[in-house]
Amino acid sequence: MNSKTPVKVNDGRDQPLIELGGVTRVYGKSRAAVRALRGIDLWVDDGEFLVVMGSSGSGKSTCMNILGCLDTPTTGAYFFKGVEVGRLSRDQRALLRRHYLGFVFQGYNLLNRTSALENVELPLIYRGMPPAERHACALQAIGAVGLKGWEAHTPGELSGGQQQRVAIARAIVTEPSVLLADEPTGNLDSTTSHEIMQVLTELNREQGITIVMVTHEADVAAHAQRIVHFVDGVVESDMRNEGKV
């Protein structure tokens, strides 16, 4: 078992890539109000692999939605590369998502009648990238997740693990600063889950992609450099996984 010791998340030496300061999120009003986040302080440094754990209702998914610019804090501030995201317009937040963030979900969300290569090319089509260039980028991303030779296969011809690899390739083809992964192994068996975590670990180490991942599985979380536990909308603990530093 890897030794774990408490860590001071941000020692002030460098500006973190991501910073949440006093973030709350309340849904509804008065007696119907649900306080999903109750004052979150969290920093993520460039190049880190951080896992957020917590039971259902702990606020981890709400936090991920805020990091992904899919939701906004009720109070508090979210800074990305030193820019306060809450001060950006809706269009500016959409550009931040498109150019700096990649997303991987429990469901693969692939187009069923479209080849693996074409699925990976989709974000580049939205960017207006010329066909030859996006084709080359998609091939490189598919190779990076270990699916070279499977480019022409549709999702129905791929296993669950292979489909998740395609989803990861689609998320990294735009060369994002941060990959946000929400239960990426939730639909997979333990062996395939380990393979997917190896892919993510290699992307973090070799390409320097910052990864923030939500999971409820301790063996999956063990691949990360830091493990943050949420309880009832607050950070209960923030521990560095010494074996992964």
The per-residue pLDDT for 13 is: 46
Provide the whole-model pTM.
0.90
Burial 54-93 (b: 16+ CB within 10 A, else e): beeebbbbbbbbbbbbebebeebebbbeeeebeebeeeeb
Contact between residue 141 and residue 120 where contact means Cβ atoms under 8 Å apart: yes
**How far is it, in rounded angstroms, from Cα 57 to Cα 107?**
20
3-state secondary structure of 101: strand
Residue whose C-alpha is closest to residue 211's, from 234, 186, 228, 236: 228
Q: What is the set of domains in the chain, with CATH numbers?
A: 47-61+97-244 (3.40.50.300)
Give the tens place of pLDDT for each residue, 14-69. 789 999 999 999 999 988 899 999 999 999 999 999 999 999 899 999 999 999 99
